[in-house]
Amino acid sequence: MRQSESGFSLIELLATIVVSVIFLVSAYQLVGAITSLSVTASQVSIADDLAYANMRQYANGNSPIWFTCDPANPTTFVTLLSSSSDVSRLPSPVSQVVRANAPYGCSGTASGMPIYVESYVTFGPNSRKVIHGTYVTY
């Protein structure tokens, strides 16, 4: 009579270990990628809030006394804010710029012509940029 062998052979055990290691390495890389995307999304959200708040300082429903239209060059952007400073939870360097122009020309004061206000925040060593823009009338 032959005795039946039970248990795992060395080859089966090694194959199981290799498959398990491949699975664990893949899972580790997936967690790393998800963490990186989460950090990036958080940074973009912070920069987005900052760019929007900067834009709303100028496009706030009040008469835009901060803008003087140049009839010779109405589409040339006028810089209203230019700042480079550290911002909590954003990688350096961080720059904030708000600028405006009159894309449809100047028609005198209180003419109702729109002013385009653009605000952007650039951050990090890869210079990620978040931009907000809107029109206001004067």
User: What 3-state DSSP class applies to 34?
Assistant: helix
| Residues of the chain under the 70 pLDDT cut | 1-5, 108-112, 138
* First-to-final CA distance of the chain: 103
CB atoms within 10 A of CB 113: 17
Domain ranges in the chain are 10-137
Interval 97-123: pLDDT, tens:
999 999 988 875 556 678 999 999 999
